[in-house]
Amino acid sequence: MHRPRLRALVVAIAAAAACTLGLAGPAASQTSVPGCTKSVLEAEFTVIPGSQGAGQVAYTLTIDNYGTSACTLDGLPKLRLLTKHGAKLPTHAATEPHGAYTVTLAAGQYAQALASFTPDIAASNEPGTHCEPVAHWLRLTLPAGGGTLLAPMSPTMVCQHGTMTFRRLKAVALTPNCAASGLGATFKAVGPPYGGQVTYALVLTNTGGASCLVDGDISLQLLSATGTALPTAINDLIGYPYVIAAGQSATLDATAYTKPSSTEPSSGPCEPVATQLAVTVPHATALTVPIDPPRSFCHGGRLSTTGLFLNG
pLDDT tens digits for 109-142? Answer: 999 999 999 999 999 899 777 899 999 999 999 9
Assessment of whether the complete model's pTM goes beyond 0.85? no
pLDDT at 16: 44
Q: Which domains does the chain have, with CATH numbers?
A: 4-172 (no CATH), 180-310 (2.60.40.10)
Nearest to 206 by CA among 186, 183, 174: 183
In angstroms, the Cα distances linking 126 to 18, 67, 137 are: 27, 42, 21
Residue range 281-289: mean pLDDT, rounded: 90
Residue % of the chain over a pLDDT of 90: 67
pLDDT of residue 21 exceeding 50, the answer is no
Query: Comparing 21 with 179, which gets the higher pLDDT?
Result: 179
Contacts of 156 (CB under 8 A, 6+ apart): 47, 57, 119, 134, 135
Per-residue pLDDT band for 275 (boundaries 50, 70, 90) equals very high
pLDDT of 1 > 60? The answer is no
pLDDT over 90 at 14, yes or no: no
Query: 305 pLDDT band (50/70/90 cuts)?
Result: confident
pLDDT at residue 236 tops 80:
no
Its sign, for the CA torsion 221, 226, 228, 233, is: negative
pLDDT of residue 27: 40
pLDDT at 105: 95
> What mean pLDDT is reported for the chain?
86
DSSP letter assigned to residue 182: G
Does the pLDDT value for residue 77 go beyond 50?
yes
pLDDT score, position 34: 92
